[in-house]
Amino acid sequence: MLNYMTFNNTRNTNFPLLQGRKKAPFFPLNRTITSYAGVHRLKKTEKGLLSISQPIGFIVKNDEHALQLKDELSNWLVTENWAPLQFDNEPGRRYTAVVQNTLDDFEKFVDQRSGTVQFVAKDELGDKRTETINTTNTTIQVTGQAETPWATQTTFGIDADQFVLEANNGLYVQLDYNFIQGDVLKIDYKYRKVTLNDELLMTPISLQTNWLPLTPGYMQMKASHETEISYSERHY
């Protein structure tokens, strides 16, 4: 059974995956360490980029067809921005990646072409999960290995003049606004973005708000109105 990859939300079955993918087990870590009098202190840790080398192949009918497929390949894989990357044989995992090499190293053998596509990834994501946060302390298990951004959606069942979301890791979001029954409030931690009924709503954010990601493990959370919180698992 052939496996393929999905890149930039497109799964292309003209280019099956070949064996030989090379990928480190986790992202490289760049450590800043200070040393004085035999004492070593870790000042900062930065996550580097993960290199993924994926061999692929394709069958050509003639030189003209080979050129068409190369154009198709470059149009598919060469992007100006980071894009989602998934492999059929890594179910439940996806990367945020870009192509690194020039795609000009393909080998020819009669009607077969093969070569290696080099990606660099800045994130490795797992399943997307959604939890319901109630007005009393709610225990949720944040899965994955690393801190992760989150987004919420709240539909107001009654009128209210405030919305509060808080967690035991110090996360605290307070919005002071005259919400009415039926309003749909969305908060995006990653972009610090708040929308009400799909319209941008930034002025009600209280100065007390403390934006923090979700931390892996068990967390205690509560909201002033029942709220759905969603996130994607992140891995080292």
The residue among 44, 155, 50 whose CA lies nearest residue 100 is 50
- Give the residue from 128, 162, 151 showing the smallest Cα distance to 213: 151
pLDDT at 5: 96
Q: Which two tokens stand for residue 116?
A: 């290696």
- Mean per-residue pLDDT over the chain, rounded: 91
User: What is residue 173's predicted lDDT score, i.e. its pLDDT?
Assistant: 97
* Residue 61: predicted pLDDT: 84
Burial of residue 96, with CB atoms counted within 10 A of its CB: 0-12 exposed, 13-18 middle, 19 or more buried = middle
pLDDT at 104: 53
Q: What is the pLDDT of residue 42?
A: 84
pLDDT tens digits, residue range 112-129? 778 899 999 999 999 999
Q: Where are the beta strands (DSSP E) in 137-202?
A: 138-142, 150-155, 160-167, 172-179, 184-188, 193-196, 199-200
10-residue stretch averages of pLDDT, the chain, 236 residues long: 95 93 87 84 84 90 84 92 96 93 61 85 93 96 94 97 96 96 97 95 89 96 97 93
User: DSSP code of 80?
Assistant: S
29 CB neighbour count, 10 Å cutoff: 10
Contact 85, 96 (CB under 8 A): yes
pLDDT recorded at residue 49: 92
pLDDT at 202: 80
- What pTM does this model have? 0.77
pLDDT at position 109 is 57
Res 225: pLDDT = 97
Burial group, residue 67, by CB count within 10 angstroms (0-12, 13-18, 19+): exposed
Whole-angstrom Cα distance, residue 49 to residue 85? 14
At 74, is the secondary structure helix, strand, or coil? helix
C-alpha distances out from residue 208 to 5, 173, 176, Å: 44, 7, 11
Distance, in Å, from the CA atom of 153 to the CA atom of 116, rounded to the nearest integer, reads: 42
